[in-house]
Amino acid sequence: GLPSHVYLKEVGPRDGLQNESQWISTDDKVAWINMLSETGFREIEYSSFVHPKMIPALKDAREVGRRIRRKEGVTYSALVPNMKGLEHALEAGIDGASVFMSASETHNLKNINKSIDETYPVLSEVIQEAKHAGKEVTGYVSTVFDCPYEGRIAVEDVLRVCDQLIASGVDYLSLGDTIGTAVPSQVEALLEGLASYFSKDKLILHFHDTRGMAIANIMTSLHMGITRFDSTVGGLGGCPYAPGAAGNVATNDVLYLLNGLGIETGISEKRIQEASIYIQNKLGTTLPSRSVAYLKNA
């Protein structure tokens, strides 16, 4: 059967904005995150403490972290690649740290400038220190289905990275369909492959929607007992170091699905719509979510 409740993490302020060539001012980011705080999300990934030259759109992470209004009951997390990033994140204020690496050697190298084996000790120290500071830690694993450089990734390669991250102490694993190419049979094969090693409560699915398969993949994940997903308002986003990747699955579309299925999220569709229109106007673009366009004209 399907779960009665699903936990959605809004990653728009991080994954949604990281690929934007247009500068969104710190004031506008803060105002938007404050709006997102009132929608009912229990977790918001608010920025990224990576090298500012790699992700210029989020170079104001520290200021954003210091200025957002923190709502009780909401976990504010951020992407952290190394100890320097963790130091900045702790100064700015985080409840959760998200470390990240790839199942694909080539994507890992392009994205964080290290081999997979060189990455483990770096992340292990970050995870330990973040846990020591009382923070919840999520380990993102990118390219769990397909890699833009290496093609299809074997389940064993994903399993190996997940295993190391869990051994290093992450609380959750977020499995990334980085380039949004997976179809439900791939999701089924991966989740079956991981099922005997990791509890489903520890798994988050992170779909990009390049080929329009994300909702189908979420449906498959729900049937397989997954209750945690990442999404972005309006379907903003993409990874600049993953050519061809489109935005994340839209929070609006996931909510439409979950509400229709009678699955609770605690999130207000109306407020998500308002937050979508806000960022859409700031960017001066049309966001990919069908729901935004549909409701705007309704």
Residue 111 sits in the site that holds ligand HMG (CB under 6 A): yes
Asked if 147 is an active-site residue, the reply is no
Taking the complex as a whole, the smallest distance from the CB of residue 287 to ligand HMG amounts, in Å, to 18
List binders of Mg ion among 8-47 (CB under 5 A): 15
CB 182 within 8 A of CB 220: no
Of 31, 91, 69, nearest to 78 (Cα)? 91
Can residue 280 be called a binding residue for ligand HMG (CB under 6 A)? no
CB closer to ligand HMG, 91 vs 264: 91
Q: Which stretch binds ligand HMG (CB under 6 A): 77-85, 151-159, 182-190, 249-257?
A: 77-85
Closest CA to 239 of 10, 17, 1: 17
C-alpha distances in Å from residue 176, one per residue of 16, 35, 147, 230, 251: 14, 26, 11, 9, 16
| Helix 269-283 and helix 251-261, axial crossing angle in degrees, nearest 10 | 160
269 near Mg ion, rule: CB under 5 A: no
**Closer residue to Mg ion in complex, CB, 174/269:** 174
Q: How many residues does the chain have?
A: 298
How many positions of this chain bind ligand HMG (CB under 6 A)?
25
Instruction: Choose the contact partner of 41 out of ligand HMG, Mg ion, none; CB within 5 to 8 A by kind.
Output: none
* 53 contacts: CB under 8 Å, gap ≥ 6: none
Residue partners of 174: CB distance under 8 A and separation at least 6: 98, 138, 139, 140, 141, 204, 205, 206, 230
Binding part of the chain for ligand HMG, among 24-32, 106-114, 123-131, 278-286 by CB under 6 A, reads 106-114
For the annotated catalytic residues, the residue numbers are 239
Residues that bind ligand HMG (CB under 6 A): 15, 18, 48-51, 54-55, 79, 81-82, 84-85, 100, 111-113, 140, 142, 176, 178, 206, 208, 239, 241
